[in-house]
Every structure is written in structure tokens, then in C-alpha cells.
Amino acid sequence: MDQKYLRLLAEKFPSIESAASEVINLSAIRSLPKGTEYFFSDLHGEYEAFLHMLKSASGMIKNKIDLMLGKTVSASKREALASLIYYPEREIKRLREEGELTDEWSRLTIYRLILVCEAISAKYTRSRVRKRIPRELRYIVDELLNVAEDVNKDYYYDNIISSIIDTGITETFIASLCQLIQALAIDRLHIIGDIFDRGPRPDIILNELMDMHDVDIQWGNHDISWIGAVSGNRALIANVIRISIKYNNFDLLEDGYGLNMRALAVFAGEVYGGDPCALYSPHTYDDNIYDPIDGRLAARMHKAITVIQLKLESQLIRNHPEWRMEERDLFSRVDFRRQTVEIGGRIYRLRDGVFPTVNPDFPTQLSESEEELMTILTNSLRHSEKLRRHIRFLLSKGSMYQVCNGNLLFHGCIPMDKNGGFDSVEIEGESYCGKALLDEINVLVNRAYFSGENTYAKDFMWFLWCGPRSPLYGKDKMAFFEQYFIDDEELCKENYNYYYAFSEKPEVCGMILRHFSMDEDRGHIINGHVPVKIKDGESPVKADGKLFVIDGGISKAYQRATGIAGYTLIYDSHGLSLAEHKPFVPGIPGQTPEIRIVERLQSRANISDTDNGKALQETIDDLRMLLDAYRSGSIKENSI
């Protein structure tokens, strides 16, 4: 090994004893059971449902309570304990107001919480558990979780718990225990794309993710749309505002990110004041709390930004013939005088033909007032500190795909052709497909944000949002224009990429896993993006268990179609399980998902079986070489 590297390692472990101690410590860690990984997809701003999934570990905390206390505690009290763990401040306040926060309740509750915490923390080292305990309570909790075998445990517990009650820190202590259980229940979190759009507050979800100890994100096309918008792509700036207005998410725009919507409201009132804009009324799955907007004004704002977006998209398509999207440039083919459009050789009448800002001779050109508005909106996004912080987090923790512990994670698809081969996409004159395509897009996304002058990278973000061979979109077209203006369901149909049919075959999944240098016999592909319609008999488990599609409809907009409210895939030391969630109703107890095992491991997996375990073994090997160097004298100890 390079002596320079060994000397750097010696700075951290300056003696035989320190290096040997670390070898022993890392070897012990490798023998522990692997931590539990949780996979979520397509959160779409549904922060209340997602936070509940996090706090409850998708029902696994309740399962642990039932396992530990099922024979001695009634079902109603186990449910109450679960609610306390998920929402300690709320439940403690309720109990105090109802006069139930007695010393007897506190004593029994602390004891039960310690039992649950012991069970959940069993797979971690003491030092790792200690780091997640609030500093001021670290000693007490550590003592309760690690009672020596020769000590009378009940007597020891009783004395410590009595001291907690006598000193008046009961509520703080209980809340800290609950938060510790939450923190220990999820070892690693994977988000398989689409944090943004439709639901009310993706910003709250991102705030929570930024506080997680171990999280990675595989970008979805909705995430890319926001990254592209903040990077300066004007079509995507219009897109994120349009979708937010369409789903009545003014709280996100104005309270969440502090974006200035006044200019759009004034513009829409002036230009479309005489237009009822009936086709543009927002969906109201959630009410705005901080920034309620009159429905008629919201509809006019929706139409105003829609027209601007269509113009900007037409400009992008014309500037990039290599995308092969000319047939999607529908706005420039509208006959604005007759209020018709030609699509596929047929003439269709528009559902709305009032376009006061369109010059029929130059339909894709923004008017002077539209240009001024886009400048204001662009500056507003650029100066939102919170939004930029969230986008930087998405870039630092995100990527097009992730290979982790034998699983291949990506949001949408790997574009395939009709013969089952990887389809190619041209990027700056070069063709890419398969893994090489995803790797190149990783570079391009970061360049779009960090390289302010790279116009091509910024433009390409729009192709990733909706392009027919985009691995994030994965459909032949985004029927944006048709859904707004054409009354024809067949014309509005969007067909999925060939990947979605081929990937249901085990041999194709095996081929993809091999392409990513993975074990095709033990590996899995985990996708989101396509809602699984369980009410129509669809299953999230495909290709004989090689493929998991875990978009089950956490978004309220999808739940009528799917019949459920999302999936969580859970990978612990025993195997893979799926949690099937019911629609979340805030404040209602007993919302535990149905959990079923979908793959059981032949033997319990330890950390040594994980990617982290392999990395630890490499460190152990390096430390052993350092020990040899110390003992041979080629490197001198520096412990004196």
C-alpha cells in the first residue's frame, strides 16, 4: 500500500493500541444485524401523510409494540402508546388537559417505552444509540437501556424512574424517548423521486429530510422540473408555477418559498379580467391557510401562466431538433383566427380560443408584458433562499440512480426500444443509452445548476421533464396541450415507454442488473413514477419478485385511481416487506398499514453483508497494514 496513505492513516490512529482498538470496533460492528432501510416514492407534497409514515416507521413501530407487549397490554393501550411515540407533544398535552398525566401513568409509560426502545436499538452499538439521545438526557437513557446483568433490573428501573418523576422532567424525558425510538426505527431512507407538485407542502417534506441522518434521493421528473426552474429554465419556471396554481398550492409558493405572485395576479387581472377562464379552475384537494386566493383570480392566473409556458416550450422544441419533438410543437400550429389546431392530419376545435397576448403571425413570441412578468418571476425564484437551499440539498443527496445493498433504485425507466434494447438519447452531439445515459445526465443536471452560463444544460432539464425518451418521464408524449384544449380522451392518452412492458419479464430485469454490474439472482429493481392500481388487480411486485414499483398513490390526486394511499418498501435483516397505506386522516388513531413479507432471507443479514460492511472491511484491511508497518518499523508510532 502507498506509504503516503498509511502515514495519513497514522495521523488518526497514532499507535498500535489505537489502530488495534479500531479493528476490534469495526469487526464488532460488522457482526451486528443490518439496519432497516425504507423506500418511499412519489410523495408529491403530501407532507402530513409522509411525516406520519416517518414517525410510525410505516407501521413497524406498532408491530414492535405488539411483539413486545402483546401478551400483557390491551390492544387499546398499545394503540395509545403508539400514538404517544408518533406525536409525543400532542399526546402529552392532551393527557395533561384531561387529567390523565399521573405519576402512575408516567411510571408505567416510561417502563414500556424503555422496553420498546431496547428492542429497536438492539441492532446498534451503544455509541451509535448514545449519539441520537439528547445530550442532557444521554446518561439517564443510556443507563436504562444498558442495565448490567447482575443488577436487579426492576428495582434499578423503579429508582431511576422515581427520580425522573420527582425532579419534574417527566414530560421532557418521555418526549425524548419517543423521538429516540423514531430515530432508531429507520436506519436509512431512500426517496425514489417526485417530492414536488400536486400536494400542498413539499417544502415541509424537504425540511424533514434535511434533518434525517442517512437519506438519498433518486430524482423524479417533478424534482427535475424544480431544479431546472431554479437553474433558470424559463419554461420550467412557468411549469412549476402553473402546477402549483392548478393544485391550489399558493401556501407553497408564497408562505413556503416567499415567491412574489402579486405580479402574476395583476397581469392576469388586467389581461384576462373579462375572461371567466372556466377551464382553468384549480383543483382543491387542500385549502390554503396563509394565502387563500379568490377562485376566479386563481383561474385567470392559471391561464396566464399556461399560455406563457406553451410559448416557451415551443421555442425550446424549435431550438433543439435533436430531441425529435417537432410533433409536440402544437401551439405554433394553432389557427388562432379559426380557433382550431391540426393534429395527426385532423382538425380539432379548441375548447378555449381567447388568447389576447398571442400574435397570430408570431404565436410563440412572448408579449412585452409577458416578458416583464417572466423577469419578475425568474428573479423571485432566484432570490428565494429557502428554495435554493432545498435545491442544493436535492443535488447533494440526489442522483439519477442508486445502487445500494443489491438493489438498483431509479424513479422512472431506462429507455428501451421495441426490440427490448436500450434506446439512445443525443446529448451535445453524442449518443448515450443505459447506464451511460444516466451517468451523463447526472453530470448535466449539476452543470445546469452550478454552471450559470451553460444554456444547453438548462434547456435539457425541460427534455428530462417531459421528453419522450427521458428516463424520468418515460412516456411517448406529455399531453399538456391536448388536456387543456382538446375534447378527445384518446388524443390525451400518454403511452408508456417499452421499458414498462419488458421490465415485467424476469430475464429483462436480470439483463438490466447485469448491465449495472449487479448480481442478477439476488438483486432487485425498485421504481416509482407509475401508480399501481391495486383496485384494478395490479401488483407492486413484478417479474417474479425482481421488480418493485412502489408508487401506490400517496398523492390525493391519485387515490381514486389506485384505491390505496401509497407503499413503503422495507428491507430489514430478515427480508423485504411491503407496507400498504390507507388514506391518511390527521388526528385519527389506528392508521397502521397492512404489512406483508414479500421476500424472506435464508439467513439473517448482518452489516457484513451490506455495502457499508464491505467498506468497513476495507478499512480493517488498511488498519491491519498500518499495524504491520508499526511493527516492522517502516512507520513510527506517535502516541507519546
Residue 133: strand, helix, or coil: coil
**Which position has the higher pLDDT, 126 or 430?**
430
One domain for residues 345 and 451: yes
Cell of 247: 393544485
Task: Name residue, grid cell 419478485.
Answer: 545
Looking at the domain assignment, is residue 120 inside a domain? yes
Burial class (CB in 10 A: 0-12, 13-18, 19+), 28: exposed
Q: Are 491 and 342 in contact (CB under 8 A)?
A: no
pLDDT in tens, 477-510: 999 999 999 999 999 999 999 999 999 999 999 9
The predicted pLDDT at position 154 comes to 75
Please report, rounded to a whole number, the percentage of residues in the chain having pLDDT higher than 70.
98
One domain for residues 252 and 297: yes
Rounded to an integer, what distance in angstroms lies between the CA atom of residue 472 and that of residue 196?
14
Q: How many CB atoms lie within 10 A of CB 214?
A: 13
pLDDT band at 2 (very low <50, low <70, confident <90, very high): confident
Q: Please tell me what DSSP assigns to residue 416.
A: B
Looking at every residue in the chain, the average pLDDT score rounds to: 92
Compute the Cα dihedral for 478, 481, 482, 487 and give only its sign: positive
Please report, rounded to a whole number, the percentage of residues in the chain having pLDDT higher than 90.
78
Q: How many CB atoms lie within 10 A of CB 94?
A: 14
One domain for residues 316 and 230: yes
One domain for residues 445 and 373: yes
The predicted pLDDT at position 639 comes to 64
Cell of 389: 437551499
Average pLDDT over residues 338-345: 92
Rounded to an integer, what distance in angstroms lies between the CA atom of residue 82 and that of residue 592?
10
Which of these, 591, 565, 593, lies nearest to 577 by C-alpha position? 593
Which of these, 582, 557, 552, 556, lies nearest to 569 by C-alpha position? 552
pLDDT in tens, 224-271: 999 999 999 999 999 999 999 999 999 999 999 999 899 999 999 999
Q: DSSP letters of 338-385?
A: TTEEEETTEEEE-S----TT-BTTBTTSPPHHHHHHHHHHHHHHHT-H
The predicted pLDDT at position 207 comes to 97
Q: How many CB atoms lie within 10 A of CB 555?
A: 24
Looking at the domain assignment, is residue 251 inside a domain? yes
The predicted pLDDT at position 129 comes to 85
Average pLDDT over residues 512-536: 91
What residues form DSSP beta bridges with 422?
416
Count of the separate structural domains present in the chain:
3
The predicted pLDDT at position 468 comes to 93
- Answer with the one of 154, 186, 218 that is the final residue of a domain: 186
pLDDT in tens, 344-399: 889 999 999 999 999 999 999 999 999 999 999 999 999 999 999 999 999 999 99
The predicted pLDDT at position 28 comes to 92
One domain for residues 321 and 209: yes
Looking at the domain assignment, is residue 497 inside a domain? no
Structural domain of 11? 3-32+609-632
Cell of 89: 407533544
The predicted pLDDT at position 484 comes to 94
For the CA atoms of 534, 538, 539, 545, what is the dihedral angle to 10 degrees? 180
The predicted pLDDT at position 249 comes to 93
- Answer with the one of 186, 213, 246 that is the final residue of a domain: 186
Residue 558 in this model has a pLDDT that exceeds 80: no
pLDDT in tens, 124-176: 888 888 888 888 888 888 888 877 666 677 788 888 889 889 999 999 999 99
Looking at the domain assignment, is residue 395 inside a domain? yes
pLDDT band at 556 (very low <50, low <70, confident <90, very high): confident
Looking at the domain assignment, is residue 571 inside a domain? no
Rounded to an integer, what distance in angstroms lies between the CA atom of residue 40 and that of residue 461?
24
Average pLDDT over residues 211-217: 93
The predicted pLDDT at position 292 comes to 77
One domain for residues 248 and 105: no
> Which residues have C-beta within 8 Å of that of residue 234, sequence separation ≥ 6?
312, 374, 378
One domain for residues 243 and 334: yes
Q: Are 411 and 192 in contact (CB under 8 A)?
A: yes
Residue 597: strand, helix, or coil: strand
One domain for residues 414 and 346: yes
Task: Name residue, grid cell 413497524.
Answer: 60
- Answer with the one of 440, 466, 492 that is the final residue of a domain: 466
Task: Output helix, strand, coil percentages for the chain, rounded to the nearest 5.
Answer: 55, 10, 35
pLDDT band at 520 (very low <50, low <70, confident <90, very high): very high
Rounded to an integer, what distance in angstroms lies between the CA atom of residue 199 and that of residue 232?
24
One domain for residues 349 and 382: yes
One domain for residues 234 and 288: yes
The predicted pLDDT at position 257 comes to 96
Q: Please tell me what DSSP assigns to residue 252.
A: I
The predicted pLDDT at position 225 comes to 98
CA atoms within 13 A of residue 326's CA, in its CB half-sphere: 4
Rounded to an integer, what distance in angstroms lies between the CA atom of residue 338 and that of residue 353?
8
The predicted pLDDT at position 621 comes to 95
- For the entire predicted model, the pTM comes to 0.93
Looking at the domain assignment, is residue 135 inside a domain? yes
One domain for residues 255 and 146: no
Q: Are 32 and 123 in contact (CB under 8 A)?
A: yes
CA atoms within 13 A of residue 148's CA, in its CB half-sphere: 2
The predicted pLDDT at position 640 comes to 57
Residue 531 in this model has a pLDDT that exceeds 90: no
Looking at the domain assignment, is residue 596 inside a domain? no
pLDDT band at 563 (very low <50, low <70, confident <90, very high): confident
φ, ψ of residue 230 in degrees (nearest 5): -70, -25
Rounded to an integer, what distance in angstroms lies between the CA atom of residue 545 and that of residue 105?
46
Looking at the domain assignment, is residue 512 inside a domain? no
One domain for residues 208 and 331: yes
φ, ψ of residue 52 in degrees (nearest 5): -65, -40
Which of these, 390, 437, 408, lies nearest to 218 by C-alpha position? 408
